[in-house]
Amino acid sequence: MTIPDTHTDVLPERPKRADARRNEEKLIAAAREAFAEGGTAASLEDIARRAHVGIGTLYRHFPTRQALLEAVYIDEVEAICRSAEDFAGLEPWDALVGWLHRFVSFAATKRALFDELLPYIGPDAEVFKSCSVAIRATGDGLLQRAQEAGVVRSDVNFMDVARLVGGIAVLRSAEPAEIERILDLALDGLRYRQ
């Protein structure tokens, strides 16, 4: 999935050296880890330290906190979309349910990043629109496959399912095992019944 940049540079981006690309990947991974542990308010210095790079390297790749948040957000969306391939060999119901279980943890992280980015770029930002299109396309494919196999009700669409799963993902008082159980109960309602 290619999600367009939100900046309006006219010149194409120059190819990055291998070490620069590795540093950028390390910074995104370190930011994801820091945000998961302590929320999106994690310090940029801590993120650079976790990535084993200097703060100057972080700022060369991500000149603002917003740029880093966007990069992590996009990386998370790309990862959840790619992860559908992990379920391609399963039966349609199992593929859909497996991916939606993975989607639950993604949805909680995505919500925190979305909330942090919102004041910077607003709800109608191109990055949000592009990410939404990518997630919807992935979820639609899995859902339609299950519907065509006759194992999922035909009167639901992926946005129904995404809202259901997203609501379950942000249950504050539930432990992870409880969230998984609640998700299974909710998904059972998607099954086709004669």
Give tens-digit pLDDT for 95-134.
999 999 999 988 877 877 888 888 888 888 999 999 999 9
Asked if 92 and 177 sit in the same domain, the reply is: yes
For residue 47, give the CATH number of its domain: 1.10.10.60
Is the pLDDT assigned to residue 2 strictly greater than 50?
no
Does 7 fall in a domain? no
Q: What is the mean pLDDT of residues 4-30?
A: 68
Asked if 73 and 165 sit in the same domain, the reply is: yes
| 57: exposed, middle or buried (Cβ count in 10 Å: 0-12, 13-18, 19+) | middle
Asked if 93 and 159 sit in the same domain, the reply is: yes
Question: Which has the higher per-residue pLDDT, 11 or 18?
Answer: 18
Does 5 fall in a domain? no
Asked if 71 and 116 sit in the same domain, the reply is: yes
**7-11, 78-82, 150-154: lowest mean pLDDT where?**
7-11
Q: What is the pLDDT of residues 36-69, one digit of tens each?
A: 787 778 899 999 999 999 999 999 999 999 999 9
Task: Answer yes or no: pTM beyond 0.85.
Answer: no
Domains: count for the chain: 2
> DSSP assignment, residue 154?
T
Asked if 85 and 172 sit in the same domain, the reply is: yes
Strand partners, 191: 152
Asked if 26 and 118 sit in the same domain, the reply is: no
Asked if 19 and 86 sit in the same domain, the reply is: no
Does 3 fall in a domain? no
With contact defined as beta carbons under 8 Å apart, do 134 and 4 qualify?
no
Does 166 fall in a domain? yes
Asked if 96 and 169 sit in the same domain, the reply is: yes
Q: Which domain holds residue 20?
A: 13-63
Asked if 56 and 150 sit in the same domain, the reply is: no
Does 71 fall in a domain? yes
For residue 112, give the CATH number of its domain: 1.10.357.10
Asked if 43 and 78 sit in the same domain, the reply is: no
Does 125 fall in a domain? yes
Asked if 122 and 86 sit in the same domain, the reply is: yes
Q: What is the mean pLDDT of residues 165-182?
A: 87
Is the pLDDT assigned to residue 3 strictly greater than 50?
no
Which residues are CB-neighbours of 100 under 8 A, at least 6 positions away? 161, 165, 183, 187
The band of 13, judged by pLDDT with boundaries at 50, 70 and 90, is: low
**22-31, 67-76, 170-179: lowest mean pLDDT where?**
170-179
With contact defined as beta carbons under 8 Å apart, do 114 and 73 qualify?
yes
Predicted pLDDT of residue 8:
36
b/e burial code for range 28-38 (CB count within 10 A of at least 16 → b): bebbbebbeee
Asked if 153 and 95 sit in the same domain, the reply is: yes
Does 2 fall in a domain? no
